[in-house]
Structure 1
Amino acid sequence: MSTENRLLETCLLAGKIMMESGSEVYRVEDTMNRIALSGGRSDSVSYVTATGIFISLKDSHQTQIENVSERSINLEKIVAVNQLSRDFSAKVITLDELSHALKIIDEKHIDFPLWLKTLSAGIVSSTLMYLFGGSWFDFIATFGIGCFGYLLKHYVRVYSKTSYLDYFIASLGIGIMAILAVHYHIAQSVDHLIIGSVMPLVPGVAITTSFRDILAGHMISGLVRGTEAIIVAIAIGVGIATALMTVGGML
């Protein structure tokens, strides 16, 4: 394989990892161009969307394309790729070492343990419930329902490949649990329980990234991510409404 092809493949792999991990488009393009520049090619042109990555070398007329099939939020991978690109720019590592390290990051599942994420979801739920006007009496119930909702979302995603179904099922479960908690006098306010417990499900990072892409002039990626965030919000809203209309109506 020629040096040019190896350089382009390395740039594409770095961009693919960052896009699949939820990075902004301008950050992906900047990282790819910096890797190409550090590899001795100042004539690189990159174009990144939410579903595809393109990079080309003007002088050699070579172009390579990479498909972005999955999108999630994994800031650990973004930080790792950024650090590797800086090391390559500083000549700390070679192109082959960079390519090998990126392949390890791409294949490695970098994530926090499920128990820690579940515990964090419960803490976020209960503290935000209080900030939104809830009472300390609802704190423990909101913590438990927030943990339950996150676990439900996790396992639905594991066992079902249907997009956005995990958000609907999780919000439905949160709504049902909140109604039952108030019905059996474990908590006081259904509204505050639901508001706090759905917070770990709200796509805040996706919404922020969407606006940053739009402000940076990447309209297609910004609108795609914004649309995904809206669909997630609708799935959450429909799940809560279903719980209120069914279980809430019966009780």
Structure 2
Amino acid sequence: MENTANQYLTIAMDVGEKLLQYGAETNRTEDSIRRICIAYGATRVDVFSITVNIETTMHIGYDTYTQTRRIQNTTMDIDKLSALNELSRYICKNKPPLVVVEKRLNNIEEIQNYPYSLQVFAYALISGSFCVFFGGNFHDMIAAAIIGALLKPIESGIKKYSNNRIFIPLVWSLCGGLLNAFFLHIGIGDHYDLIAIGNIMILIPGTAFTNALRDLFIGDSITGVIHIVEAILVAISIALGFVCIHSFLL
């Protein structure tokens, strides 16, 4: 019985861990873990999660089981998040064998992201569009779009060596600032600030800040404050890189 209970809790924690990794809010993660454990026979479930940690205690009669997970390498993946939500509902409704849940979790993990070429195109489109939106001319748009396309492989290269959510935007923005200065030097683009705005919009943490406010409004104060601080630090890192290049090279 003890081994089986721990297996149920492990599966619930696996689902919760993936939810947090792919961008779910903490209250949804806690609710999913709680419902899965209750579906498999728990009489009480106490869950506490923040952006980087989940702690769950499951009670079955007078027996208590506890697990803790450290969350790393978080990202936003709507497709996997939707699949995980569907899996949670399936578990609660059908109470399938654990091997079935493990197989579906593996299938979710193998869901492919958008093709890399499409991601590069999206970076170029976002950069060029926002450059024009904020007042850039045709030359600025071309420069911003090309730099945006170049920043995607740079970002991918940085992530191979570090997953720090503050360090990556800082190095990324320094590279973006250098590319902006280079393009202005060779005569592609006219306004450093407008080109930079187009590039900055790629990584601006608008979603993170919005989620932080939502967390605060629904009572998850700790998570909300963490998200707000993180979003502010990311924004400062992005701006700092472009400002440093502009100050020293232009």
- TM-score (normalised: structure 1): 0.88
Residue equivalent to 1:123: 125
Alignment match of 1:98 (pick from 90, 101, 123): 101
1:73 aligns with 2:54: no
Post-superposition offset of 1:84:
0.8
Please list, as runs of the form range in 1=range in 2, the aligned pairs for 1:122-141 lying within 5 A after superposition: 122-141=124-143
Change (3 A) 1:160 1:40: closer
Q: Which amino acid in structure 1 is aligned with residue 25 of structure 2?
A: E
Question: Hey, which bits of structure 1, 4+ residues long, moved more than 4 A?
Answer: 160-163
Residue equivalent to 2:50: 49
Rounded to whole Å, the distance in 2 between the matches of 1:187 and 1:11 is 53
Residue equivalent to 2:149: 147
Identity value in percent: 26
Q: Which amino acid in structure 2 is aligned with residue 138 of structure 1?
A: D
Deviations 1:33-74 (A, max 9, x none): 221232233522211112211222233322222221332222
Post-superposition offset of 1:103:
4.5
Q: Which amino acid in structure 2 is aligned with residue 19 of structure 1?
A: L
Post-superposition offset of 1:161:
5.6
1:158 aligns with 2:160: yes
Q: Which amino acid in structure 2 is aligned with residue 234 of structure 1?
A: I
Give the gaps of 5 or more residues in structure 1: none
Residue equivalent to 1:3: 4
SS in 2 for 1:159: coil
Residue equivalent to 1:19: 20
SS in 2 for 1:2: helix
Rounded to whole Å, the distance in 2 between the matches of 1:101 and 1:178 is 45
SS in 1 for 2:94: coil
Rounded to whole Å, the distance in 1 between the matches of 2:159 and 2:94 is 41
Rounded to whole Å, the distance in 2 between the matches of 1:160 and 1:69 is 12
**Bigger shift: residues 52-61 or 231-240:** 52-61
Rounded to whole Å, the distance in 2 between the matches of 1:162 and 1:45 is 30
Number of residues paired by the alignment? 247
**Bigger shift: residues 20-29 or 156-165:** 156-165
Change (3 A) 1:103 1:56: farther
Q: Which amino acid in structure 2 is aligned with residue 100 of structure 1?
A: K
**Does the CA contact (< 8 Å) of 2:40 and 2:95 recur in 1?**
no
Rounded to whole Å, the distance in 1 between the matches of 2:93 and 2:213 is 32
- TM-score (normalised: structure 2): 0.88
Rounded to whole Å, the distance in 2 between the matches of 1:159 and 1:9 is 30
Deviations 1:208-240 (A, max 9, x none): 222222222111222222222222112111111
Rounded to whole Å, the distance in 2 between the matches of 1:168 and 1:34 is 40
SS in 2 for 1:48: strand
Give the gaps of 5 or more residues in structure 2: none
